[in-house]
Structure 1
Amino acid sequence: AQGKLLARRGAIVDLQRNLLEAIQGVRVDAKTTMTDFMANDTVRTEVQGLIKGIEISDASWDGEIYTVTGRVKLEKVRTAVLPGLPKVPGQKPVPPTPPAGKISASGMLIDATHLPLIPAMIFRVVDENGKEVYGIDFADAERFLASGLCDYHTNLTFAKGAPRIASSPIVAKAVRTIAPQNVDIVISNADAAKVRGSSYDFRIPCRVTVVKR
């Protein structure tokens, strides 16, 4: 029993170390990773607290090796980075979702499957003139923390049916990514005009899905 207990403890320490490495590699925005953000004492303390309080979802013991699986919710990681963000999203009144068929656009799906896009917690979508169409400034803080600026998918067909963007999203083919980081996305001026002209501002509740390679 003592050996099993020690093995479990060792497995959890390994899991926490692996998780810390994974979190440090997360790209926050075009310029920074979580490693950079963790130079901020508040952020570092928050992340360390997350890792200590890891939720163990599965555990097994074969008599020799103890294996554990755990997870940390991205919502908690987003909350941890908030003190280090140069811009913090504000509280915005979230518009009620109009009934299907009464809406010009229920969300936005960006197809970037042909581009070397790097997923990030915070990114910008701009038009061909460089004017911002979507990003953290447009989002409600609560929605951003709960579900992020977007969902990333790798399957276009699956993404089109995602509940997040509902039944009638604007489908925008990305024109390019902004080098060298390839985090921020350029869409056409025509698609940008559709977003800005939508009667329902789906940007506030972050109803955006991005499909990558």
Structure 2
Amino acid sequence: MKKTLLVTLLLFVTHNLFAQESHFREYVGASGTIDWTKASVEAIGYGISPAGKNPKVMPLLACRAAIVDAQRNLLESFQGVRVTSTTLVSNYALTSDIVKSSVEGTVQGAIIKSRINRADGSCKVVLQAPLKGKVSKSIYKNLNQKNLSTFNFKSIFSHIIGTAYASDIAASSLEDKLTILTKRVSEIETILDMKLAKEVISTDNAITGIVIDVRGSQFIPSLDPKIRKNTGDILYPDEKSTMEIIDSGQLVSLFATDVLFAMEHPIVGDTPLLIKANKTWKNNNTEITINEKDAKKLLYLSQNNTLKNTGVIIVLD
């Protein structure tokens, strides 16, 4: 009986250590840590009591000072969170009152993960707050509004150009006919690609999540990672996925350092699809490209609404 309990305890401890080692953590700010696997931010604060106070209340005053210090460090840590390869949360907080208030509100609502009164009379406090939720929603809404503005401009511009070019199309020149034929061939190829992708991923079980292995590609985590085809077209997150991500308050992707851990993570379900990435997109280390075969799989899942509420984990070095 004792031997069984010992083995069970050993397995439990080993599993927890493995899980912790598989988390992707990044140090930011004076004393902050981003856990990209749990989508949370932590910061440490230290404090001492003012001199001359009642010895009985000095430990409490020291911890109060430590909480204030930890909140300041936590705010700094949030501001240092990477959104894209060239921008941080601080960039968005400067231009958006909504982002600024969501970050400040999240810091104020942080939980005390640990509080230790030390022998020298000081206090050490660790605060933890979620990166998902208010903060991620405000960032994604901000990004989505910019993307929609760009899209609308392109649509209007294309409409003007298209109207001006309509008379030339009516001429039905050989060049026009070749252009139309090329477009039609491309459409047929897309249909065939979808049929092929369906056959490739056809299994008895539905795809419940996506795990993308980008190890060896110098990819780094961010709030807005993108998965692209070799041609540059964005596969994930597409417009539909973006809206679902905003509504749910989740991140575009979680990140981990071990494929097995990622494949067994609850967010990707029982039958996740594993994809191996090729390289970063044009030296942008928060965007990745995947090969043609895997791109067809992801495109099929996206177009058939299979990715709705589907978790994604990116595994990196």
Question: Normalized against structure 1, the TM-score is what?
Answer: 0.83
1:210 alignment partner in structure 2: 314
Please tell me the residue identity of whatever aligns with 2:236: Y
1:160 alignment partner in structure 2: 263
2:128 alignment partner in structure 1: 71
In the aligned structure 2, how far is the partner of 1:200 from the partner of 1:127? 18
2:166 alignment partner in structure 1: none
Paired residues of 1:109 and 1:172 also in contact (CA < 8 A):
yes
In the aligned structure 1, how far is the partner of 2:140 from the partner of 2:252? 14
1:46 alignment partner in structure 2: 102
Paired residues of 1:108 and 1:208 also in contact (CA < 8 A):
yes
Pick the aligned partner of 2:216 from 114, 117, 129: 114
Paired residues of 1:123 and 1:136 also in contact (CA < 8 A):
no
Please tell me the residue identity of whatever aligns with 2:292: N
Deviations 1:1-58 (A, max 9, x none): 3322321121011111221121111111244210101112221122122222221122
Paired residues of 1:112 and 1:212 also in contact (CA < 8 A):
yes
In the aligned structure 2, how far is the partner of 1:45 from the partner of 1:163? 31
Change (3 A) 1:11 1:136: farther
Pick the aligned partner of 2:239 from 137, 143, 146: 137
Instruction: Please list every run of at least 4 consecutive aligned residues from structure 1 whose deviation after the TM superposition is greater than 3 angstroms.
Output: 86-89, 140-146, 198-202
Paired residues of 1:140 and 1:205 also in contact (CA < 8 A):
no
Matches within 5 A, 1:48-197: 48-63=104-119, 64-75=121-132, 76-87=134-145, 101-103=204-206, 105-135=207-237, 137-139=239-241, 141=243, 143-144=245-246, 145-197=248-300
Larger RCO, structures 1/2 (Cα 8 Å, 6+ apart): 1
2:125 aligned counterpart, secondary structure? strand
Q: Name the larger-Rg structure.
A: 2
Paired residues of 1:31 and 1:181 also in contact (CA < 8 A):
no
Paired residues of 1:136 and 1:149 also in contact (CA < 8 A):
no
Q: CA deviation at 1:180?
A: 3.8
Change (3 A) 1:161 1:3: same
Pick the aligned partner of 2:89 from 9, 24, 34: 34
2:64 aligned counterpart, secondary structure? helix
2:58 aligned counterpart, secondary structure? helix
Q: CA deviation at 1:82?
A: 4.3
Which deviates more from structure 2 when the two are superposed, residues 76-85 or residues 106-115?
76-85
Structure 2 runs not aligned, ≥5 long: 1-55, 148-202
Structure 1 runs not aligned, ≥5 long: 90-99
Pick the aligned partner of 2:65 from 10, 28, 44: 10
Change (3 A) 1:179 1:128: closer
Please tell me the residue identity of whatever aligns with 1:163: P
In the aligned structure 2, how far is the partner of 1:158 from the partner of 1:111? 12
2:225 aligned counterpart, secondary structure? coil
1:122 aligned counterpart, secondary structure? coil
